[in-house]
Chains A and B, each alone.
Chain A
Amino acid sequence: MPDVLSAPLVVEFPFTRSLGPVQSAFLTGLRERVVLGVRTTDDRTLVPPVEYDPVTAEEIRDLVEVTPTGTVTTWAWNHAPRRGQPLTTPFAWVLVRLDGADTALLHALDAPGPDAVRTGMRVRVRWAEERTGAITDIACFEPYDGEAGEPGATGKSVPAGGHSGVFGDPITGIVAPARLDYTYSPGRAQSAYIEALSARRTVGERCPSCRKVYVPPRGACPTCGVATAEQVEVGPRGTVTTFCIVNIKAKNLDIEVPYVYAHIALDGADLALHARIGGIPYDQVRMGLRVAPVWTEGARYPDHYRPTGEPDAAYETYKELL
């Protein structure tokens, strides 16, 4: 059995998300160094604010400004910051109840060490230098000696009644990039398939129950639900069972359109694989066309399939593989 293969796999996705009116006001406020909460009908102030009351599910829209100072309600010391977290030096995760709020906000606290942090300590917002309308406009919190109601980090008191929550150029959406790193292992059956391909051999696996040969193999017969193990070399030639003509150029793919993408039943296989057809004008490809793989130097899989020149296969020979 060949060694199990593995390769790095990075999954990155920028989620573009729209904001409701309360979220929009809150995040726009952060951009302007104003912290807004939302008041519930039973007169609690939620910071960070949400669109709906978490208890009653009522729509809530009554925005109120709170001070950028507050009290730690719980904390955890993070001696080894991870990618994407607010600070790159050791910090405390904190839940902070801002003065004037009834709920707590999660963020980082910049402190010299765990001995400098305790529940109940006073903190204030440290604003990011560049602010875009995101939770990261709060760079972090920092220790603060003052009492509630004193001038906050912005050097100003909350005006009577506070900010209205109406801003010029409010943000209406955020782009939240995400990246996750994996080590991808295809498992036993697919490792064997990929290993064989690197020697220009196409090796499937036969189901011990229904005797079908699966290419590429996935380790199990999807019909019988049993493990496949017996390896069977198939091809290299095969038959086009069905195809489509691609007219839209894919990003980062250096293939001229139109081209043909086909299902190909390799000789000896009971499942069609798919590949591009070349070496023939796109409008002359047909069901039953006999094809063979074309390899390029150093490639781990066929670049495409080309016609062999044999007579077309009879429909009866591949109709079960459509």
Chain B
Amino acid sequence: MLGLSKSDIRIFLLVVVLTIFAPFILNPFPEASGLAQFNAGYPDLMQRFVIFGIFAIGFNILFGLTGYLSFGHAAFLGVGSYAAIWMMKLLTMNVIPGIIMSVLIAGIFAVAVGYISLKRTGIYFSILTLAFAQMSFALAYSVLTPITGGETGLQPKISDPRMLDAALASGEAPRANLFGLEMGTSYELALSGWVFTFNVGYYVAAIVMIIALYIAIRIFRSPFGVMLRAVKSNQQRMRYTGLNPKPYTLAAFVISGMYAGLAGGLMVAMDTQVGPERMFWTASGEVVLMTILGGTGTIVGPILGAGLIKYMENILSKINADILYEWFAMLPDSIADILVFVIYPFIGKGWHLTLGIIFMCVVIFLPGGLVEGGQRIGNMFGRKKKTEGEKSSQPAE
């Protein structure tokens, strides 16, 4: 089906189902209960899940397949964002032109950066991409202020030309929409204590992510994908067989840059503002963390990693000492004090510490990321099943 193998289609359909029903799945706790703060089913966070999922899927095409570690991918995200917001300012608040333009401009930028950076490999490549990204950040912050808005960034204003849009009624603010359907529109469904929110923006982003994932799977399984794996395993051997690795690597770089641009365009579509901090190198580091955490070179790993990090960033960081005391209320005070003292550094503002520790553990013990961890656990419990169905297991790579 759809040109995918059976196991791929299973994973793909699983992701599709999960994204469609995400507003239910991410809201497992009733609104009134104390656990409601763990609900992630609000539009802003769900949008982040899918958008950063796209970003990480794209990064994985480069890093997972070719092994080139780029430390400057946020630059493409930023460039895509700026392209999209300018489309909104000049043409229309409809998100389609903005998203298309963000992919195109990020692609062109990626061709230029990739052409130069790919002259070197290994750590030099990482440094070159980092240098380009930091340059873009510094320029967006200072000299390019007329285009980028500098420190304050860009937002759509009432006075913008917007050539394709009808004039706004007085007092109306320009809002991002898809053929009149506003991105911010939400439908709330209340079911005996539970409140589920269905947001237009989320579903637009989710559909884009599903398409992006489909394309990524096709790339992974195509002859082109095999070439990219060859680049990772042995470039010299590849050259001996008469193939030039350079164009393949550059193509992978540009594709992953376009994915980053797409993510940037979608970010603007959801929340119409851009600032240069989106291009800072820590943002590039974040996508590296996501991909490694989830599982490099796997199909769902990056989405998983992006979801986990964004969940921690938004939910874990909200917990403070008072909430902890509430949880441990049934325990004697002294034990509660000790527990809070031990746990407190890892939550709230300290969530980065938890992230850093998890990340280090993954790199040390689970080079395949959470996906590998899941497989190991699966093997532990399902060993019997595996031997029965050995014929259908994947061919050796």
Answer whether A and B are interacting partners: no
B residues lining the A interface (CB < 8 Å) = none
A residues lining the B interface (CB < 8 Å) = none
